[in-house]
A = this chain, B = another copy of it.
C-alpha cells in the first residue's frame, strides 16, 4: 500500500513507522492477553503477517520488550526541578507506578526488558540521577540510589499486580498457620493477606526517602566542601 513510505512534503521521513505500529500492536496485545499471552506468533497474527516477518523488524523478543518498556513510560513527565529533591523523586516514583499500572502486566515487561536503552528509558534514568546529583549525592551514591528507587517501583507493581490478578489467593494462606511454630506470622495473618496499595507504596517511598536523607546528611557532615 505504501511501498516506499516517502513523505513528498520533504519532512524528515519518519524512521521506521512500521516499528512504531509493531510496538503499539504489542502493547494492545499485552493489555488483552497479559505477559504470558504476548507471543511473537500472536503479535504477528494481530499485524496480519507471519511470525517470521517480525524478525526483519526486531532482533528478537528481547528487543521487542525493550521497545515496549520504552513506550510504556512515554507518558511520564519531568518533575519541577525547583522542587526539593525528595519531592522530585517521589513524583517520579508515583508517576512511574501509574505508567506501569496503565498497561496489563507492564511491570513484568519492565522487569524483563534489561538495561535501559530507548530514549524514554534513558530520560527516566537521567531525571532520577539529575535530582540525586542536584541534591548533593556523590556519583556512586547517586547511581546506587537511582537503581534502588527504580527497583523499588518495579518490584512493588509486580507484587501489586500479582495480588490483584489472583483475588482471595489461596496461596496466601497465612490464616491456618500454627501460632506455636510461627507466632509472628500467625499474629500478622490479617495484615499479610491485605494489600492496601497506596498506603503500602507510600510506606516504601518514605523509607527510601528518609534513608537517603540520612545518607546525605552523613556525607555532608564529613565533607565540608559540599554546599
Q: Which residues of A contact B (CB under 8 A)?
A: 114-115, 117, 122-123, 125-126, 129-130, 133, 139-145, 147-148, 151-152, 154-156, 159, 162, 169, 171-172, 177, 181-185, 187-188, 191-192, 199-200, 203-204, 206-215
Residue among A183, A207, A213 with most chain B CB within 10 A: A207
Q: Which residue of B lies closest to A149 (CB)?
A: B207
The reply to whether B159 and A151 form a contact with Cβ atoms under 8 Å apart is: yes
The reply to whether B192 and A143 form a contact with Cβ atoms under 8 Å apart is: yes
The reply to whether B203 and A207 form a contact with Cβ atoms under 8 Å apart is: no
Select A155's contact among B117, B155, B212, beta carbons within 8 Å. B155
10 A-B pairs with least C-beta separation: A211-B211, A207-B211, A129-B184, A210-B214, A143-B191, A144-B203, A130-B184, A151-B155, A115-B171, A126-B182
Chain B residues whose C-beta falls within 8 Å of the C-beta of A155 in the assembled complex: 151, 154-155
The reply to whether B185 and A126 form a contact with Cβ atoms under 8 Å apart is: yes
